[in-house]
Structure formats: structure tokens, C-alpha cells
Structure 1
Amino acid sequence: MTFDTIILGAGAAGMMCASHCGGRVLVIDHAKAAGEKIRISGGGRCNFTNMYAGPGNFLSQNPHFCKSALARYTQWDFVDLVGRHGIAWHEKTLGQLFCDGSSKQIVQMLLDEMTRAGAELWLQTSVRDLRKTEYGFAIEVEREGQRQNLICRNLVLATGGKSIPKMGATGLAYDIAHQFELRVTDTRAALVPFTFSDGRFKELSGVSLPARLSNDRTSFDEALLFTHRGLSGPSVLQLSSYWHEGEAIRANLIPDLPLFDLLRDQRQTGGRKALTTELARHLPARLVDYLKHQIPMRGNLADQSDAALNDLVTALSNWSLTPSGTEGYRTAEVTLGGINTDELSSKTMEARDVPGLYAIGEAVDVTGWLGGYNFQWAWSSAHAAGTAIAAG
């Protein structure tokens, strides 16, 4: 069977690309349903983009690579598409846009766009062999227990990264890249919780508070969540993309709280109160109870000198921790790294030395922040490849 374009991967990038390629297009995926990661995203409501998406929200060995695709298909272009399909949405926080209803609406929208474009979708189909030919690519697949041989002029790698293997994630895009001698940068789990092997935060599991998580390169002000395995929450997930194994992180538990002034003022009017009692007005009580074994906070407010209060505030705003590791790909929202951007055209996403081979979405070494940025990269890179193929 002959197609103009075959797209490997029926996720966000793959389906988006299929609706723009033109010609006879086939999308292949080994899963039972298309868009499974879309379905589970955003608590089932899909954080489909971010109002503030721009190049500064992405990590890559080449921070300039994403600029072209993001500029030519913006978050507002995707919002317009969502609106044309009658999908209601809202901003939750920090520019994060979610469906009012279900993430399944986004999946159905992409399927409808594929149908409109005449693209075919084969699910539960596995790639068994792939090779370059004089005119394109020859692919052997297995579908419904039968082997089939396919031919295409263009091949698009949209299989994502290694994150959440229980959803079917594999390193197939990297394997194919290696086959065609495209370099792949080191990959690791990103947007992922930190773990501590000693289980030190078990008693705090479920406690959350606003915090500033930082290392020597960056910082994020969002919620921090203690878990039985370690630390999670948006601030932790964001910092994990910038963290290296063995590195210490810093937690500011009072980022926007003038705690020194509050405690000093309260010392004048309520000096008989225990210091821990007053702290529990500003921080979760379970956290205060935990920290009192590590940070001096004995006695009443009246017993505290300005120097002692200052030391306490310093300790709470610069708590140093060294994670044992992360929860890995099992729970990571994305994979950091991927197909080296030096191998691709930033305008078309086509491999420079392998005509007709394209890579888009998470398969590429472009990784977004938490908050809808990775979906926007999927839409933008897919649009870049699809329109380039259509113009072709």
C-alpha cells in the first residue's frame, strides 16, 4: 500500500500533523485508542496550551530552535481551532488553559480534523521493519495478526518520548533516529517528583503550601506537596527539568510572607504564645511540628530575640535538601532531551540529511515547562512539518 505520508504516533503531535499534510496520509499507533496522553492530561480536562507560551519556556541544547515553529503557529491559533469546534475553556492559573468539560473533546477535535483532511488511522499496529528507499520509505507493520508492507514518500516521527510507559511510551523515535544516523541527546525524566530514599517526609504526606524551589540555575514559585516518597507539586516538577543527580535544591517555605515582621509584632502583643503556635498560623501545623526537630524554635515569642527570629526566617527561606533521585519515567510528564535539533530544519522539522524524514513533538530535544507548554510545542512543530509536507 502506498501513501504520501505515514505518521508514527497518534498522539497530540501526530494527529495535529495529519490534518495539515495533504495527500494520502496514514497515522499508525500501537495503542488501542488515539490520544491517550491527552485524555489523562490536566486531571482529565487537558491543559491544552498556555497564554504566555514563548521560546523562554522551553529547554533545549539549542534554545533558538523552537522559535520558528512557535511563531508560525501560536497558542492563539490553537485557541481559535478549539473555539471553532465549540469547546469551552477557561484559564486556571498562570496562563494555563483547560477545557471546561473533558479532555476527550480535544481528542475528538483532532480526530475530526484528521477525518476532514482525509487521513487514515490504524491503531494496534506495530512497526516491524523500516528502511529507506530511493523514493521514500518502506515499512513493514503488523496489524490484526497480519504483516503488511507500506510505502511512503514522507515519514514523520511523532511517537513521543519515554515518559509514562504504562501508556505505551517507548523509545521508538530514538531507535529510528539512530538507524538513520541522527544524533540523539541524552534523555531523562522531566516534570517529575523528587524522591528521598530515607522516607523522611512520610509523616508529612499530603501537606502542601506555596513555596519557591530553586537551584543555582533557576527558581519556580508554585505549590510544594510532600508525599510518602518525597516532594511533588508544580514547583518541584518545574525544577526537576533543571536538576542533576546529586545536586542540592533549596526550598523557601515563606516566599511572599514577611514573617520576621509578623513575629516581631506579635511578640509585642502576644509574647506568651509558643513560637510554634504562632508559626502554625502561617505554615501548615504538621510542617511546623516536623521542622521543630531540625530548626531551633523553642520557647515563647517573648523569649525570641531579633537575631533568633532572623535566624529562624533564614532557615525557613533557605532549606537545603538533596533528593536521592526522581520517580523516573513511570510518572514523568515529559522526556527531557531527544533527537538533536542540529539534525533538523527549524522551519520544516525535516532531517537535514534524510530527505522525507521528519521529527516532531516530544521526540525532539525541545521540552516545555509544566502548564500546557509541551502541548503547544506539539501543535506548533506538527503544524510546521505538516504544512511543509503539503507545500512539498
Structure 2
Amino acid sequence: MQADVVVIGAGASGLMCAMEAGKRGRSVLVLEHTERTGSKIRISGGGLCNFTNRNVSRENYISTNPHFTTSALSRFTPGDFISLIEKHKIKYHEREGGQLFCNESAQEIIDMLQAECQKASVKFVMRCKISKVEKAERFFVATNRGVFETGSLVIATGGLAAPKVGATNFGYLTAKQFGLKVTPLKPALTPLLFSPKDQEIFGSLSGISMKAAVSYGAKEFMGSVLFTHKGLSGPAILQISSYWDERGDITLDLLPGIDTHTMLLEKRGSRMLLGTLLDQHLPARFAKKWCDLHFESKPLNQYSPRELHAVAAALHHWRIRPARTDGFSKAEVTLGGVDTNELSSKTMESKKVQGLYFLGEVVDVTGQLGGYNLHWAWASGYAAGQYV
């Protein structure tokens, strides 16, 4: 069986590439090892699909080559994807930080992409297990559904995150097979786990959520922090997990935007307990635990100015050292991937192997939380779709 283009992977980047190539009159075949298309799209945004962000820029991505994303992002913008969903009459809404979500369901995005693929005469082979990929003058893909021959082979198989919906290491193995470098892989946008000692201390706080500014090195993210029975989660923690290198403490500003030192000095004449004051700004169970660990919760009029300064500093710089991330099973994306120095930023084609393309999460481009990873899938898929 032959096609001008064979796309391996029916996720976000693969579907976008397939429909764009089909629009150019190319015969396109998509091979997918699961029984459904768009598995990670379906679970994105809690089922509502955070399909892009109005504020996309290369600063929202992590890569060993920070300039690699510039070309693709400039040619397929958030406005381009918004135009596409508006054409399909999909209703959407905007949340904090420019995040855009479907009103009804992520399935609407999948249906839209499938409709565009159908219109472009793209064909699909589902439950297609690949046993071998070879290249002579053309590529040959051996599967349980037959052997497929093509001049353009697109690897859009995603990363290692979310194995329950079909994530595999196929893309990385294929890159290495053809001599392309793969940068180190690690879970990203994932919860962070306590050390055994900290789990014993903080495990009882499971379910507590609070707003904080979480930092590691020069990176800082403001957002919700959620205590679980085994660690920390929530948007701010997921964001910092992509930058944490498993060696140092993360720092939490527990009262962001508040001049805590001034607040404490103003209350210095009060007989109010420190814990009672903190209850007004932090969850009560956490405030009590924090005071038990750091400062005796005595009346504020019993603290010296020096002690109040120390209390304020500790509240704005609460340090904790996670033991590790929660792994690929809980990660939203994979950090690292096919080295961008191996690929054309214009076409996503391998510089070493003509006709071989890599898209989306399998590439060493990782977005921050907020619709950026799906937008990279759209942009890289679109870029390749113009050339395959």
C-alpha cells in the first residue's frame, strides 16, 4: 500500500499535518496504534481542551534551542486556530492568562480535525502496530495491517507522558534508528513528591489548596498549590516541575502581593495569636502546621520586631525539597526529545534523512501549562503539512 505521506500518530500534530498535506492534494495515510484518534486532546483541559493561548510566544517553551519554535509559531498563530474552530461553530471561552477552552467538550476539537481530514481525503488505519521502519529510496513501514510505502514519513507519536492513553517511546527509538540525537527525557508538568520525612509531616494536609508564588532558580509561577497525601500539585507546582532539576529546594511565597512585615508590625500591639492572624490569609490547618514547624503561635505583642521580621521572611520564602517528580504516569508532557538541531525549523524535516519529519511532543520543545503544548502541536503540524 502506497501513499505520498504516511503519518504515524493520530494525535494533535499528526492530524494537523495530515489535513494540511491533504489540502495540497497529497495522498495521506495516518497510522494509529490505538483505536481512537486524539487521545491526549480528549483529556486536555479536564475534558474541555485548553486548545491554545492568546499569548503564545517562544518564551513559553523550553528547548535546548530556544529560537527553534519561532518559525512555526509565526506561521500558525492562536488566531489561525480560533478561525478554524469558529468556522466549525465551536463555542469557547477564555480563562486567566489567555487560556482558551471549549464550552462543551474536547471531542468537538477531535471531530473538527477528523472532518477536515475527511474533506482532504486523508485515510486512517487504526489498531496499527508497527514492527519495523526501513528506508531505501523510499520508506517502508511494516505493521500488523500490512506494509506501507511512502516518500514522506511523519513521526507524530508524542512523548512518554500519559502512558494510559497510549504514550510510547516509538518516536525516540525511530529517531535514534536513523542517527538523530535525542536529548534527555524527563516528566514535565507533573506533581512533586515529598521526601518520606516531609510526607509524614504534611501528608495530613491532603486536599488543602492555596495561592502561592512558586520559584526555582530564576523561574517563578503564581497560582494554586494543592497538597496531596504524597506531595504537592496544582498549576504553580506543575509549572515549576518543568524547571526543577531534582537537586535543590523550591521556594514558596505563601503570601504573594502582601507586605507581611508591615502587616505584622501594625498588629504588634495586639494579643491576637500569630496563627489566628495567618488563618485570615492561609488555610487554617496549614497555618497551624506552619507555626508548629517554624514559630510558636503566641500573642503578637510578645514578639520582638526582629522576630516579626523573621516570621515575614519565612512566610515569603518557605523552602521545601521534593524527593522526585510523580513520573510520566502523572505528567502532562515530556521534557526533551528529538534534538532540534537535527531538524529544519521551517519544515520539521530531518537534516540527515530526507523525507523524515518529527512533530509535536516528540521534539525537544516543551510548553508551559496553559494551552501552549497543544499550540505547538498545531504549529509544528501545520509547518510540516506545507512541505511533506
Structure-2 separation of matches of 1:201 and 1:39: 33
**223-232 or 196-205, larger mean C-alpha shift:** 196-205
Residue pairs, 1:75-224, within 5 angstroms? 75-134=78-137, 136-143=138-145, 148-198=146-196, 199=199, 200-224=201-225
| Residue identity matched to 2:186 | R
Q: Given residue 177 of structure 2, which amino acid in structure 1 is its aligned partner?
A: Q
Cα deviation digits, residues 41-83 of structure 1 (max 9, x gap) = 1011000001101000000000000000000101110111111
Tell me, in whole angstroms, the C-alpha distance in 1 between the residues paired with 2:281 and 2:261. Answer: 12
Pairing 1:317-332 to 2, within 5 Å after superposition: 317-332=316-331
Letter in 1 for 2:228: T
Q: How far apart are residue 309 of structure 1 and its match?
A: 1.5
> In structure 2, how many angstroms separate the alpha carbons of the residues matched to 1:32 and 1:305?
67
Is 2:63 the partner of 1:64?
no
**Residue in structure 1 matched with residue 9 of structure 2 by the alignment:** 9
TM-score (norm 2): 0.97
User: What one-letter code is carried by the residue in structure 1 that aligns with 2:336?
Assistant: G
Deviation at 1:350, TM superposition (A): 0.4
CA contact (8 A) 1:217 1:242 kept: no
Aligned structure 1 segments of 4 or more residues deviating by more than 4 angstroms: none
Q: List runs of 5+ in structure 1 lacking aligned partners.
A: none
Separation in 2 of the partners of 1:279 and 1:211?
Answer: 14
- TM-score, normalised to structure 1's length? 0.96
- Look up the equivalent residue of 1:154 and give its one-letter code: S
Partner of 2:339: 340
Structure 1: distance between partners of 2:320 and 2:268: 30
Task: For residue 246 of structure 1, give the secondary structure of its aligned residue in structure 2.
Answer: coil
**Counterpart secondary structure, 2:173:** helix
Partner of 2:293: 294
1:342 and 1:308 mapped to 2: Cα distance?
Answer: 53
Tell me which residue corresponds to 2:376: 377
The Cα of 1:266 is off from its aligned counterpart by: 3.2
* Alpha-carbon separation, structure 2, partners of 1:150 and 1:388: 20
Contact 1:297–1:312 under 8 Å retained in 2? no
Give 3-state SS (helix, strand or coil) of 1:154's partner: strand
In structure 2, distance between residues paired with 1:210 and 1:298? 22
Distance, in Å, in 2 between the alignment partners of 1:201 and 1:294 is 11
> 1:306: Cα distance to partner?
2.3
Paired residue for 2:247? 246
Q: Which amino acid aligns with 1:175?
A: L
Q: Is the 8 A contact 1:260 1:310 kept in 2?
A: yes
User: Which letter maps to 2:210?
Assistant: L
Tell me the residue number matched to 1:234: 235
* Bigger Cα displacement from structure 2, 318-327 vs 296-305: 296-305
Partners of 1:55 and 1:363 in 2: CA distance = 17
How large is the Cα RMSD of the aligned pairs? 1.0
The structural deviation recorded for 1:298 is 2.6
Match of 1:353 in 2: 352
Shift of 1:232: 0.7
Distance 2:246 2:274 in 1: 36
Could you say which residue in structure 2 is the equivalent of 1:284? 283
Aligned residues: 382
* Shift of residue 260, structure 1, vs aligned partner: 2.4
Which residue number corresponds to residue 73 of structure 1? Answer: 76
